[in-house]
């Protein structure tokens, strides 16, 4: 695969689609006659897709159409899947950065409109650019990885909220790292302490109560340590009962997120086993979640012309400067695809 792609024949119908939340902007054109119909906006619902299907059937030649779609978040997913089913192998995806670069080449980088985006998509598609729609396994793996990332972000916020609520209810009990023994809320003793704080409104529990609420093994010395620290804390605030109730609800949300992450991890492991990314788990230190995150946004690997292109996407390749007889390497920039760049 070279740097220059094979251009489309002039007779090929190119359908440029700029996705939106309510409607999609559509351009239908060929290299011979230009626009075959005036630019139009179609609703994202089924009637809009049916209207586009009729227009494509009426104006497509023997070569078949090519759909150029800007891949913007999740707005393009529904039409991409449906068009790929109706016209297999005819959909090409373009990143927003590619559209911006094409607008710059067309002289309208600073002036963004839906029609200018469609013109840029048409320009790119005519050059033979764009990547094909991933297969169903790859699409499902990408969706699962994205969902897991969202859950992890929510889980971190929920865990920090538990620390804040526990500190307000029992000042000084959950000391941060570097200030004595820290309380890890995701540990067995951490969960037991949170349960007791919610049950007793911030008052120190008895040793038996703490160990009874532990969902696992707790050493006697460990339980005694937290009981002694708890008794040395200041008194709970006057609204301790309301704070304890809110803490209980926060714990329920945190546990639900934990269970959801575990369920998604199982789904990702199953999907990864059916993809080429499974080989990544054979590398030392690469578990299922990391391998899936890399595979979801890198496969199929054939879309990278060389290994250096893949390194650049992951942010691992050194930069380069070449001009005339000057050819030198620059340090690793760690700039690449946001989903695969290594931090």
Mean pLDDT value across residues 296-304: 81
Nearest to 10 by CA among 122, 87, 106, 119: 122
The CA distance from 77 to 71, in Å, is 8
Q: Give me the pLDDT at residue 177, please.
A: 56
Instruction: Please say if the pLDDT value at position 107 is more than 80.
Output: yes
Query: CATH assignment of 14-133?
Result: 3.30.420.40
The structural domains of the chain, with segments of one domain joined by +, span: 14-133, 140-267, 304-343
Mean pLDDT value across residues 46-64: 92
pLDDT digits (tens, 9 = 90+) for 27-39: 999 999 999 999 9
Residue 72 per-residue DSSP state: -
Q: What is the Cα 312 distance to its own chain's centre?
A: 19
Q: How many CB atoms lie within 10 A of CB 6?
A: 8
Instruction: Please say if the pLDDT value at position 58 is more than 90.
Output: yes
pLDDT digits (tens, 9 = 90+) for 222-253: 999 999 999 998 899 999 999 999 999 999 99
Q: Give me the pLDDT at residue 343, please.
A: 43
pLDDT digits (tens, 9 = 90+) for 131-159: 888 888 888 998 899 999 999 999 999 99
How many alpha carbons lie under 13 Å from residue 40 in its C-beta half-sphere? 15
């Amino acid at each position: 695969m070279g740097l220059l792609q094979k251009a489309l024949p002039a007779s090929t119908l190119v359908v440029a689609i700029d996705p939106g939340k309510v409607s999609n902007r559509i351009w239908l054109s060929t290299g011979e006659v230009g626009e075959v119909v005036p630019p139009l906006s179609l609703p994202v619902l089924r009637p809009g897709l049916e209207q586009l299907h009729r227009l494509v059937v009426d104006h497509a030649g023997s070569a078949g159409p090519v759909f150029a779609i800007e891949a913007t978040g999740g707005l393009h997913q529904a039409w991409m899947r449906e068009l790929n089913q109706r016209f297999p192998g005819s959909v090409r995806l373009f990143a927003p950065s590619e559209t911006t670069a094409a607008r710059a080449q067309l002289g309208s980088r600073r002036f963004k409109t839906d029609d200018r985006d469609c013109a840029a998509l048409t320009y790119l598609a005519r050059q033979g650019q764009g990547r094909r729609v991933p297969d169903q396994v790859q699409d499902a793996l990408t969706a699962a990885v994205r969902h897991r990332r969202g859950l992890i972000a929510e889980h971190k916020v929920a865990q920090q909220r538990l620390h804040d609520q526990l500190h307000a209810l029992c000042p000084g009990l959950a000391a941060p790292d570097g200030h004595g023994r820290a309380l890890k809320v995701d540990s067995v003793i951490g969960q037991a302490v949170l349960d007791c704080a919610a049950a007793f409104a911030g008052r120190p529990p008895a040793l038996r109560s703490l160990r009874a609420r532990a969902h696992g093994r707790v050493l006697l010395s460990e339980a005694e340590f937290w009981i002694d620290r708890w008794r040395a804390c200041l008194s709970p605030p006057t609204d301790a009962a309301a704070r304890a109730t809110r803490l209980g609800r926060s714990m329920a949300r945190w546990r639900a997120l934990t269970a959801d992450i575990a369920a998604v991890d199982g789904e990702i492991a199953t999907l990864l086993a059916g993809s080429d990314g499974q080989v990544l788990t054979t590398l030392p230190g690469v578990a299922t979640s990391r391998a899936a995150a890399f595979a979801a946004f890198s496969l199929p690997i054939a879309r990278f012309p060389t290994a250096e292109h893949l390194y650049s996407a992951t942010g691992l390749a050194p930069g380069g400067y070449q001009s005339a007889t000057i050819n030198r390497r620059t340090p690793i920039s760690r700039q690449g695809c946001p989903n695969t760049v290594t931090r």
